[in-house]
Amino acid sequence: MTLPRRGPRLLQFTLYNLLRKPGRSLAAVIAVVLAAGTAFAGALISVGVHHSVAVGMERLGADLMVVPQGTMTSTHTALVLGEPVAFYMDGSTVQKVAGVPGVRSASPQTYVETLSTAACCTGRMFLVGFDAKTDFTVQPWLRAVLGRDLRDDEILIGAHILQQVGSTMRFFGTEFKVAGVLDPTGMGMDETAFLPASSVAAMAENSTRLAEKPLTIPSGSVSAVMVRLANPAQAEGMARQIEAAVPGVSAMTAGQVTQGVNRDLSDLMAWLLPLAGGILLVAMLLFIMLFSAVTAERSREIGLLRAMGATQRQTVTALVGEAMLLGILGAALGVGAGAVVYMLFEKPLQIDYALPFLWPSIVQQVGLGLAVVAGSALIAGLAAALPAMRIARLEPHYAIHVRR
């Protein structure tokens, strides 16, 4: 026989009630698991998308991106998802953009879409050729991590490309050695390979001999111009100025990329939020009904506790505490379930809704989980508070003898 050292305290009393009535507890826990799981998954998506955009835009390092007119949508898709694009404009655009007052620096990039099925290429991929002299997107990373410039036969790859440092990749018949793997951003950069523009030009030249289908890049052309502004706060105005000064281009601000992602996120949230709200509402109603039924069923028991000396406050505390414990348990399971369900549907969701995603830091994830647990405990407590207060206010005689 195991004996307690002393009588059960209120918390123990509520714990015993939960553990020794598993069926009743399970019904409440399932309701909370559904609500908390959906809430956590929704919050995770929202935080992860914004985190990804923040990291991605910081990596991009540009305040503006200038592309040929009519290519903004595909550029957005390339930036967000790494979907290969290839478009070109005259190389003189770089000087013209650099000459617009307020532009601090401008650096060209050349985009290449590699072939998916040809023997000359490792696979369909988005290659970005950067100007080693002016680049401010890849070079800072190179200097910090590699400590040197890329050689002509070297390539940098995004975190989602399944290659290791030292391995080789072949594009249009030219072999490149992977010199480094970039940190993940959750955006298209993770699916992108970077190499010097001079290597892109050499690759195009050699492709006529080495590839089944040659790579054709108009001479002296570039795909995009990355722009840094003297005053980044004026990005929107500068974009309009550049478009006015350089005919045939569109200027996209970092804010526009973020807005685009937010629009796509809204499409997802348009059904996820009502779903989460609906589940939350049903869970709350279920909780209120369950606790109303439970308190009514236990009115005699509660009357007994009151007769033994439990105050109204202690009675409410015990009942609300019981509900909050269920809320905490259900939410903890829900957070785990929400994370697992999200992991299972991560890729399809990102592709269907064109959303970048980067798992938030462990601290953020734990914080998010704790917030959901705390919120669930609070809602469960509130749902139980009304019936608990009603029954606790009843005179014990009525609770014991009259109210069944």
Binding site for another protein (CB under 8 A): 1-10, 12-13, 16-17, 19-21, 300-301, 303-314, 395-398, 400-401
CB 297 within 8 A of CB 291: no
In the complex with another protein, the residue whose CB is nearer, 16 or 345, is 16
Nearer to another protein, 304 or 371 (CB): 304
Closest distance of CB 42 from another protein, Å: 36
Tell me how crowded residue 204 is: count the other CB atoms within 10 A of its CB.
20
Least distance from another protein to the Cβ atom of residue 320, Å: 16
Of the two residues 304 and 374, which places its CB atom closer to another protein in the complex?
Answer: 304
Rg (CA), the chain: 30
55 neighbors 364 (Cβ within 8 angstroms): no
Measured in residues, the chain has a length of 404
Smaller CB separation from another protein, 228 or 300:
300
Min dist. Cβ of residue 363 to another protein (A) = 36
Nearest distance, CB of residue 391 and another protein, angstroms: 14
Contact 160, 191 (CB under 8 A): yes
Q: What b/e readout covers 138-157, taking b as 16+ CB neighbours within 10 angstroms?
A: bbebbeeeeeeebeeebbbb
Q: What is the 3-state secondary structure (H, E, C) of 302-361?
A: HHHHHHHCCCHHHHHHHHHHHHHHHHHHHHHHHHHHHHHHHHHHHHHHHHHCCCCCCCCC
- Of 2 and 164, nearer to another protein (C-beta) is 2
Paired tokens of 392: 């606790």
Structure tokens at 27: 């019904």
Q: Of 13 and 141, which CB lies nearer to another protein in the complex structure?
A: 13
Smaller CB distance to another protein: residue 5 or 133? 5
Q: Do residues 188 and 78 touch, judged by C-beta distance below 8 A?
A: yes
Tokens at 364, concatenated: 């953020």
- Closest separation between CB of residue 297 and another protein, Å? 11
- For another protein, the closer of residues 22 and 248 by Cβ is 22
Burial bucket for residue 271 (CB in 10 Å: 0-12, 13-18, 19+): exposed
Residue 202 neighbours by CB distance under 10 Å: 15
User: In angstroms, what is the minimal distance from the CB of 56 to another protein?
Assistant: 54
Residue 28 to residue 47: CA distance in whole angstroms: 28
Cα separation of 87 and 235, whole Å? 24
* Nearest in space to 327 (alpha carbons), one of 19, 31, 5: 31
The least distance separating another protein from the CB of residue 186, rounded to whole angstroms, comes to 48
Residue placing its CB nearer to another protein in the complex, 212 or 297:
297
Q: How far is the CB of 293 from another protein (least distance, A)?
A: 16
Nearest residue (CB) to another protein, 19 versus 285: 19
- Coil, helix or strand for 161? coil
Shortest Å, Cβ 309 to another protein: 2
Q: How close are the terminal C-alpha atoms of the chain, in Å?
A: 35
Helix (H, G, I), strand (E, B) or coil at 107: strand
Q: How far is the CB of 388 from another protein (least distance, A)?
A: 15
